[in-house]
Amino acid sequence: MKSINNIFKEKQHVLSIFFTAGFPNLEDTTKIIAELSTNNVDFIEVGLPYSDPLADGPTIQDSSQVALQNGMNLDVVFEQLKTIKDTNTTPLLLMGYLNQVIKYGEDKFCQQCKDCGVETVIIPDLPMLEYKNHYQQLFDRYGITNVFLITPHTSEARIRKIDALTKAFIYVVASASITGAKGEVSQQQINYFERIKAMNLQSNLIIGFGISDKETFATACQFANGAIIGSAFIKHLDTNGVARIGEFVQGILE
């Protein structure tokens, strides 16, 4: 598996896709990764389905419910990822909620990530203060990088602090919103992206939340190193199945 930072060196604009592990079927996780990889997605966020996903909209909530009913859990997903560790070259990130990590055991979680070749995690309810006080040393010990989110309401001073802590990329949340497609990018959002771009941060920037198609992806790429698409992909997957993942990705990249 390549490192995410190598991807940023190789390409000017990257496309990342989020999906929920275990959706639509328990055994789809590795198939989805293979399809996304074949279709030149640059890195993949594997969502760990959670009962109470506070930052997620209805699409990801529903996919999480289905995945949990399918029997997905952390042990299953780690086993699945281990089977493709030697064959998959596309970087994988895990995205889940802090309670899952605490209950699983923080050390065990990090060790499992390491054993699967996962170097980067996104935990939306782990804020900077708690990260620094309780998790930074642990993650460093296992060589795991945490991705922080910034929003239109994050102050410049706080963005600078987050920038200093960032090793992979900053997740630029496109609007004051939970996950899910909004259709288009507003002038207000563009002003916000320009403001962030003008800060000349050391970190790579990836825009997410509300990026859904070729147009919104292209807009995001004007201001950042790339973008993440989640809910729109899950909807496509739900309607069209794993076999037609290529159509979705090519529709974005063509």
Give the catalytic positions in this structure.
45, 56
Is 145:165 a contact under the CB 8 Å cutoff? no
Is 90:44 a contact under the CB 8 Å cutoff? yes
- Taking CB under 8 A as the criterion, the residue among 102, 164, 190, 199 binding another protein is 102
- Per rule CB under 8 A, is residue 50 in the interface with another protein? yes
Binding mask 116-135 for another protein (x = CB under 8 A): --------xxxx-xx--x--
Binding mask 1-40 for another protein (x = CB under 8 A): ----------------------------------------
- Per rule CB under 8 A, is residue 147 in the interface with another protein? no
Q: Tell me how far apart the alpha carbons of residues 46 and 41 are, in angstroms, rounded to a whole number.
A: 13
**Side-chain half-sphere exposure of 128, counting CA atoms within 13 A:** 15
- Per rule CB under 8 A, is residue 97 in the interface with another protein? yes
Residues 185-244 that bind another protein (CB under 8 A): none
Residues 159-178 that bind another protein (CB under 8 A): 173, 176-178
One-letter amino acid for residue 251 of the chain: G
In the chain, DSSP finds a helix count (H) and a strand count (E) of 13, 9
- Taking CB under 8 A as the criterion, the residue among 38, 87, 89, 103 binding another protein is 103
Going edge to edge, which strands form the sheet with 14-20?
Answer: 145-147, 120-122, 92-95, 43-47, 14-20, 226-229, 204-208, 169-173, 149-150
- Taking CB under 8 A as the criterion, the residue among 19, 43, 104, 248 binding another protein is 104
Stretch that binds another protein, among 36-44, 69-77, 135-143, 214-222 (CB under 8 A): 69-77
Write down the residue that tokens 């296992």 correspond to.
142
The closest of 195, 194, 202, 224 to 211, measured between CA atoms, is 224
Task: Give the binding site for another protein (CB under 8 A).
Answer: 50-52, 54-55, 57, 61, 68, 73-75, 97-104, 124-127, 129-130, 133, 148-151, 153-155, 158, 173, 176-178
